[in-house]
Amino acid sequence: MSKPKDPKRLLQYLDTFFGIRNNIKGDPKEGVNFTLETLTYMTSHNRADQITQMIVDKMKQQKLVPFGVFDATSGIGGNTLSFLENPAVQWVVSYELRPERRDMLKRNVAMYNLAKKSFVPDGPFQGVPEKYKGVVLYLDPPWLPEHIKGHESKKEDYLLSGIKIGNFTLEQWIQSCKHCAMVVMRVPPGYRLGQIPGFDITSQLLKNSLVIFATPRKQLTPLPSLTPITKSVLSPEESRWRKGLRNFLRETLKSILPKEENREQMLSNNSMDTWAVCFTYESYVAHIGKNYEKI
Ligand SMILES: C[S@@+](CC[C@H](N)C(=O)[O-])C[C@H]1O[C@@H](n2cnc3c(N)ncnc32)[C@H](O)[C@@H]1O
C-alpha cells in the first residue's frame, strides 16, 4: 500500500510545475499562485506539454489547426498554460469550480503574459456550446472521492470508473460533445470507460496517468468554424459593453428606422454578434476589455 504524498516535498520542485513559459520565468508564491493541495493536482510543465503535443499532432492529422480548447477542470492551470503557449491553439476557455483556485489560475495566466488567448468564465463547466464546432474538450477531473484531499491521498484511493464532473459522468460529457473534434481526458492508469456509441476510443499511458482520446465517428465537414468566443461565454465586462452598444444603436437607428419592431429586429442576439464585430478593433480581446474606443 502506498503512503500519502508529502506535499511540502513538492515545494522543492516548483520549477517543474511552473518554470519558463512565453520566455518568462514564473515566480509562483504559495497562497497567490498555488496551494500545497492544488500543486498535488497540477499537471507538471513537461507532462502538460506532452499532452498538448499529442493533441496538436492528432488535430494536424485531421487538418483542424488552429483550434480552440475548452479546459473543463483547469485547477490552477497546469494544462491551460501549456495550451495557451502552443501556437496551434487559437484560444482556451478554462473553467474551474472553486473561486479561489480560479483566481490563482487567472494570476498564473497573467504571470506568463498569456491572457490574450485566454478566457476564464465565472462558474463551473456546463458543456461546450453547439456553436463551437471542431474544438477540443479537455477533461482533467479529480481522481479521488470528494472526501479525500489530494495531499492526503494514496494511489489506492484513485477512482477507476464512474468519475463525475458536476452531475455528469465522463461518458455523458463525451456523448454531449459530438460537435467537438475530440474529447481528451487524463485519468488514473487502469481506468475503465463505459461504452460510448458513436465514438472511437484510443488511449496512451503517460507515466503515472492514462490519456484517453474520444473522437466522434462522424467526420466534421466542412472545416470547423473558428468562431471567436462570443456571447455564450461572455465575461461580465463584455456583457456590459454589449448592452451599452445595443442602447447606443437603439438611439442611433431611430432616424433610419422609425418603427420600433424593425429596430429591435436589427438588435436581436444574432444581429448583435455582427454589430459587435463591426464595432470592435481586430485586436480586441473579450475579457481584458481592449476595444476600439480605448486604442
Ligand atoms: C485534477 S484538478 C485539475 C488540474 C489542472 N489540470 C492543473 O494542471 O492544474 C481538477 C479540478 O477540477 C475542478 N472541478 C471539479 N468539478 C468541476 C466542475 N464541475 N467545473 C469546473 N471545475 C471543476 C476541481 O476543483 C479541481 O481543481
| Chain segment 13-57, per-residue pLDDT in tens | 899 999 999 999 999 999 999 999 999 999 999 999 999 999 999
- Residue of 34, 40, 51, 73 to mutate, ligand 1, most atoms within 8 A of C-beta: 73
**What pLDDT is stored for residue 290 in this prediction?**
46
| Chain segment 93-148, per-residue pLDDT in tens | 999 999 999 999 999 999 999 999 999 999 999 999 998 999 999 999 999 887 77
C-beta 131 within 6 A of ligand 1: no
**What pLDDT is stored for residue 49 in this prediction?**
98
| Chain segment 217-271, per-residue pLDDT in tens | 975 554 444 454 544 566 667 778 888 899 999 999 998 888 888 888 888 877 8
- Expressed in angstroms and rounded, the spacing between residue 256 Cα and the centre of ligand 1 is 50
- Residue of 96, 149, 157 to mutate, ligand 1, most atoms within 8 A of C-beta: 96
For the domain spanning 7-216, the CATH number is 3.40.50.150
| pLDDT(287) > 50 | no
* Residue identifier of the C-alpha nearest atom 8 of ligand 1: 78
**What pLDDT is stored for residue 289 in this prediction?**
47
Domain boundaries, the chain: 7-216, 235-294
DSSP state letters, the chain:
-PPPP-HHHHHTTHHHHS-EETTEE----BTTTB-HHHHHHSPPHHHHHHHHHHHHHHHHHTT--SEEEEESS-TTSHHHHHHHH-TTEEEEEE--SSHHHHHHHHHHHHHTT-GGGEE--SS------TT-TT-EEEE----S-TTS-GGG--GGG---S--EETTEEHHHHHHTTTTSSEEEEEE-TT------TTEEEEEEEETTEEEEEEEESS---SPPP-PPS-GGG--HHHHHHHHHHHHHHHHHGGGT--SHHHHHHHTSHHHHHHHHHHTS-TT-BGGGTB-GGG-
C-beta 39 within 6 A of ligand 1: no
Is pTM beyond 0.85? Reply is no
